[in-house]
């Protein structure tokens, strides 16, 4: 796997450039630590996963959320859509602990988790594995020198497109204007993603099935949230 800039020489180590910031935070409570120690191993997505349906026997399709933050969106989508198996990837341990708390409290059997970079998981999935993908407010890396770290890069879009089935839906949201412009351009340049917007309200207003998260309410970006829904073609 090359780095996500598409530039072979961009990272002398040969490892993909990290698209997320810190992974540690405040000390976990005893209850949270117990969930990380005991529940996470039971829900952990195994290394080398090819067919995600093996994680969800009897369910109709698999969804993926990349970078779920505190897990509010992930847990609510799982509650609303019990026939979909949902994989959530989040490298930040405090976010993982919060998500585990919700999954445990609500007895959500259709959630599996990965506390790591989502890109190797996506790379390893069999073609056509995913029916829906959420990329909600990924790390924007707003400074120009940092922007090579943004998740939405050509190599990633190639891998994601291959892992999604035809007609799958991909939702990208950001509250950083430069990232909104760049990501939309990259999706459209790829050629395999059809933007579903028909008017300005389609990207200015939250979609009907959106779940508001704690991050959104903080309004940390430099613009109102932008919502881009795409269909795999």
SS3 35: helix
Which of the 8 DSSP states describes residue 19?
-
Alpha carbon distances (Å) from 10 to 20, 40, 178, 203, 220: 17, 34, 21, 33, 29
Q: Considering only CA atoms, which of 19, 22, 67 is closest in space to residue 173? A: 67
Q: Considering only CA atoms, which of 83, 87, 163, 174 is closest in space to residue 135? A: 174
DSSP output for 111-172: EEEE-S-SHHHHHHSPTT-EEEEEEES-----SGGGGGG-S--HHHHHHHHHHEEEEEEEEE
Q: Would you tell me how many other CB atoms lie within 10 Å of the CB of residue 54?
A: 11
Alpha helices, H only, the chain: 30-38, 40-43, 72-80, 93-106, 119-124, 154-163, 177-190, 201-204, 214-218
Q: Which of 51, 117, 123, 139 is catalytic?
A: 139
Active site residue 139: yes
Contact 52, 23 (CB under 8 A): no
Residue positions annotated with a catalytic role: 139
């Amino acid at each position: 796997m090359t780095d996500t800039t598409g530039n072979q020489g961009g990272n002398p180590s040969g490892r993909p450039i990290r698209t997320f910031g810190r992974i540690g935070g405040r000390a976990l409570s005893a209850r949270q630590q117990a969930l990380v120690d005991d529940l996470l191993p039971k829900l952990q997505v195994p290394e080398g996963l090819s067919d995600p349906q093996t994680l969800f026997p009897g369910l109709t399709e698999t969804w993926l959320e990349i970078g779920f933050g505190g897990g509010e969106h992930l847990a609510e989508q799982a509650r609303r859509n019990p026939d979909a198996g949902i994989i959530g990837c989040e490298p930040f341990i405090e976010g993982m602990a919060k998500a585990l708390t919700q999954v445990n409290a609500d007895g959500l059997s259709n959630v599996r988790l990965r506390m790591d970079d989502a890109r190797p998981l996506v790379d390893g999935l069999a073609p056509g594995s995913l029916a829906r993908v959420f990329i909600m407010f990924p790390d924007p890396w707003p400074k120009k020198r940092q922007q090579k770290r943004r998740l939405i890069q050509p190599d990633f879009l190639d891998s994601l497109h291959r892992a999604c089935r035809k007609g799958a839906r991909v939702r990208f949201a950001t509250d950083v204007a430069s990232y909104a412009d760049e990501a939309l351009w990259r999706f459209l340049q790829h050629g395999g993603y059809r933007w579903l917007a028909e008017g300005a309200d389609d990207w200015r207003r939250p979609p009907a099935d959106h779940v508001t998260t704690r991050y959104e309410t903080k309004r940390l970006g430099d613009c109102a949230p932008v919502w881009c829904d795409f269909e795999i073609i």
